A and B are shown apart, each in its own frame.
Chain A
Amino acid sequence: MTVAVHGVGTSHFGRQPHRDLVALAADAVQEAFLDAGTDDIDAVWVGTVFGPPGVAQRVLRAMGVTGIPVVTVENACASGTTAFAEAHEAVRTGRHGRVLALGLEQMSTAFAGAITPEPTDPEGRSGLALPALYAMAAARYLHLGLATPEQLAAVSVKNHAHALHNPRAQYSGRHTVAEVLASRMIADPLTLLQCCPTSDGAAAAVLAPATGGAREVTVRGVALRSGAPWNHRSPHVWGHDLVRRTAMDAFAAAELLDATDVDVAEVHDAFTIGEIVTTEALGFVAPGDGGKAAAAGVTALGGVLPVNPSGGLLSRGHPLGATGLAQLAEIVWQLRGEARGRQVEGARLGLVETMGGGVSVLDGNSCVVAVLEAP
């Protein structure tokens, strides 16, 4: 059975300690119900990482979503897209008729700055903050001549400029490459403006069988994988191979050979190097060309393949569990032609990629890639 996204909704993104998850989730779910034209759902999948026990039922009861199956999933930064992937599978197989996927996270009340490294993980216990993991990928790229500091910064410049047209983004601005490079060093070579902020937010989608409706965005294919061992035998930096393998699965599910026909994408740019590596892993650009593409405007609005028109995680913000569904909402708006000042004209095929990390030895906790098609 072919599945379509019938409605999406999100909260505002940013530091919102004065609002609780009930309020943030209500913004996203009510907008998604309104967008779908119905609140008649049969099951809910909820993605969250740091949400307390019972958070899914706690937020859903406030909207009268009670008495139906509710499943909570955790896959690090890919938790929201994991909820989406599972909701999609539930509809595709006929297990449920209409399903809500919800992602939510409140980071501002949990962390003063970067996420505290997980002490039950070997590398977390060793003090490997996530910026440092990505910083080592960036340092390796610089060492091998696969990117320059200016190309890293270009990703931040681009995504902050994109966010100028997204009223729900946490940050936006017209930065220069020099400003990005001059911002405070977080983990060499990544500076503050190359790292996603601490964010609160929620996002939701309503999935049901495709009926050919004028506002239905069809799900062409979804894939989910966990990482394989990443070590001295791996040819690429951390994360690349997991994204690549998951993308190949998603392209196969979508009956595509590769990324050639993709018009717009939201990808995991928690750090600038992440977008560069991901655009290479997805096959948007040739290996080693991710930085050049960002600096040359290839992946900017108006370029050949706009990446992160919403501003991405770097600017929209990165409330972990909400991120994947926020990416999905952006692609749905793009494919319906409703993205206003950041619209990619004539976009027909869109891609969402989310990547979660934090388990040492593996090249990712989980990755989800989805391919969607305009009505």
Chain B
Amino acid sequence: MSQPSTVDPRPRVEQGPDGRYRVEGIRCPSCGEVAAFAWPRCPACRSGVGPASFGPDGTVWSSTVVRIPVPGRTPPYVLAYVDLDDGPRVLAHVTGPGAPIGGRVRLAPPSADGDVTVEVLA
């Protein structure tokens, strides 16, 4: 484990004028790859990329409940890989007891600590 720098590596989540939350990332004009990070080039084809925002809704690819101690966190907590609509797969914390695979979720305000967070849509 290395020491964290002052730069937070997690995806940046912004609230739009419509009140919804979106992940600020990139889209590759050459191959269509998307990523939730402000990288200078496409991770799949090395092309230059442009900024893109993703969300607010997505589908749960998979999820789990972490029940072991992790430094700085209190188990249990729910994690999910969420495929944002027309966007990348992001790791998110889930409000509530679980996130059914295939279920629809929506980006919520990031946690106080800065975690990407989703809520399960009814």
Contact = CB atoms under 8 A, between A and B. Distances in A.
B2 A119 contact: yes
Interface stretch (A38-46, A110-118, A259-267, A295-303): A110-118
A136 B79 contact: yes
A196 to B, nearest CB: 13
Given A137-B62, A139-B101, A186-B68, A229 B44 contact: yes
Interface string A144-184: 00000000000000000000000000000000000000001
Contact of A187 (B1, B4, B68): B68
A231 B2 contact: no
A129 B9 contact: no
Interface stretch (A89-97, A120-128, A347-355): A120-128
A23 to B, nearest CB: 24
Given A120-B9, A143-B101, A114 B1 contact: no
B102 interface: yes
* Contact size range, A: 35 or more
B71 A116 contact: yes
A19 interface: no
A114 B70 contact: yes
Nearest to B11: A122
A122 B10 contact: yes
A29 B112 CA distance: 50
Given A118-B1, A132-B79, A188-B64, A126 B91 contact: yes
A121 B44 CA distance: 19
B10 A228 contact: no
A229 B91 contact: no
Given A139-B64, A231-B88, A126 B116 contact: yes
Nearest to B91: A123
Classify the interface of chain A: helix, strand, loop or mixed. loop
Given A143-B62, A231-B34, 18 more contacts: A116-B70, A117-B70, A120-B2, A120-B9, A125-B8, A126-B92, A127-B66, A127-B77, A127-B93, A127-B115, A129-B66, A131-B66, A136-B62, A136-B64, A140-B101, A143-B102, A232-B83, A232-B87
B118 to A, nearest CB: 12
A135 interface: yes
Interface string B61-88: 1111111111111000101110100011
Interface residues of B, number: 44
Interface in B29-86: 33-37, 43-44, 61-73, 77, 79-81, 83
Contacts of A132: 64, 66, 79
A125 B101 contact: no
B81 A126 contact: no
Residue among B62, B88, B101 with max Cβ neighbours from chain A (10 Å): B62
A125 B67 contact: no
Classify the interface of chain B: helix, strand, loop or mixed. loop
Interface string A207-246: 0000000000000000000001111100001000000000
Given A188-B65, A232-B61, A118 B2 contact: yes
Interface of B: 1-5, 8-11, 33-37, 43-44, 61-73, 77, 79-81, 83, 87-89, 91-93, 101-102, 115-116
Closest 9 A/B residue pairs (Cβ): A136-B62, A135-B64, A119-B4, A232-B83, A140-B62, A143-B101, A122-B9, A231-B89, A188-B65
A120 B5 CA distance: 7
B59 to A, nearest CB: 9
B91 A128 contact: yes
A113 B11 contact: no
A122 B63 CA distance: 17
A361 interface: yes
Given A123-B91, A125-B10, A127-B115, A229 B64 contact: no
A361 B79 contact: no
A137 B64 CA distance: 9
A185 interface: yes
Contact of B37 (A118, A122, A127, A136): A122
B17 to A, nearest CB: 26
